[in-house]
Amino acid sequence: MARSLQVGIVGILLLGAAFGLGSLDAVGPLASPEGVSFCPSRDPGPNAGWIRVPDDFWTVMEAVEVAVQQGLYRVWIGPGRYFVRWPDSPSTAPPNLGEILLCGLGPGFTVLLHPGLVDDYTPFDAHPPSIDPSFYVRPEEGQEALLEGFTLIGAKVTISAGKAARVVLRNVQILSPGGPQGPDPLGWDGITLYTVEEGAQVVLEGVTIQGAAQGIDISSSGKGEILLQDVLISGNEGEGLFLHGSTRTLLLRSRVVYNGSRGISMDMQPWLIIRDSEIAHNRYDGIDVGSGGLLEVYNTRIFANGGYGIRLFMEACEERWEASYPSFSGKIRGRGNEIFDNAQGDLCPEDYTWPEGFQQP
């Protein structure tokens, strides 16, 4: 695959010589990788260097296999609904997308369905446990994977990125088997990010996740970078965004709303930067911060959550305090935030040394 997939802006946004506002503001106005796209807006046609579905192959995974075997790494999927499975062993070999450009026409036009679904939204009464619901996106060192322009129903995306690898999900909608009407009855998370190794970059841009057990689970302990840009995480049964690793993550121009537990939950030692976003109408806290890590919040609206706007794990904020668990000892940075109308309070503890200008008056 051509190595010209330039999403290095993530490194500019997330890397710096030091933590904090100075290193982030030094880059000037936030840039966007949105101009980066190799997906054609229409059928590329025969002899254009693409494997096409359904013109060349009826099934998506057969097209992927052939594209990889032929060294093309480019698959274009036209409008329609496709059950995604490996051609010969759907029960033992879930889709694994390593180095690939997998392009659809757009959410609602190109719809990929889990093979255990009877139709768009209805799971089998007894779901076949042998059929893995995951799209595995696991580029190895230096490889690149781009998935763009789909609705996924009844499937989840599981991502790992090797050293200096890149993963881009753009313009992708992930819905539960229960549809937008209710949470996933099978307990699947929308997106799970495991190891993101040194120099690796994961970009989720224009991604919507609705109705999953948990929206996005970032458990990565690698030294890579994650950018969530223009993302909607809404209507999931548990947390919208759960971070319990140490990878640096930027949430930019995104909405985390109407989730059945906390909007964002942090544990262990993550570094989370939130800018120009909205965290609202979640059942419990807008942002819940565990014992450590670094949270930076800028120009973000946090309101109408059922618990606190931002809660730190400290005795003053816990009804059932467990002294055996270490209290919050991380760092909070940021400014210019609108935090209001949260049911239990906006910031807890109120007497914590919040940064000057962290909350607008």
Taking only the tens place, the pLDDT of each residue in 216-235 is: 999 877 788 999 999 999 99
How far is 173 from 231, CA to CA, in rounded Å? Answer: 10
Domain 76-348 = CATH 2.160.20.10: yes
Between 10 and 289, name the one with better pLDDT: 289
Phi, psi (rounded to 5 degrees) for 95: -55, 130
What sign does the dihedral 319-320-323-327 (CA atoms) show? Answer: negative
How far is 317 from 308, CA to CA, in rounded Å? Answer: 9
Alpha helices in the chain (DSSP H): 9-14, 21-25, 60-69
CB 72 within 8 A of CB 115: no
**Predicted pLDDT of residue 47:** 81
Strands (E), 162-277: 166-175, 191-196, 201-205, 208-210, 216-218, 225-229, 232-234, 241-243, 248-252, 255-257, 264-266, 271-275
The 10s digit of each residue's pLDDT in 81-128 is 888 765 444 444 556 677 888 999 999 999 988 766 554 444 444 444
Q: How many residues does the chain have?
A: 361
The burial of 211, by beta-carbon neighbours within 10 Å (0-12 exposed, 13-18 middle, 19 or more buried), is given as buried
How far is 207 from 148, CA to CA, in rounded Å? Answer: 10
Which of 147-151, 282-286, 328-332 is the most confident on average?
Answer: 282-286
The burial of 302, by beta-carbon neighbours within 10 Å (0-12 exposed, 13-18 middle, 19 or more buried), is given as buried
**Predicted pLDDT of residue 321:** 58
CB 291 within 8 A of CB 326: yes
How far is 58 from 65, CA to CA, in rounded Å? Answer: 13
Q: Can you give the residue ranges of every domain in the chain?
A: 76-348
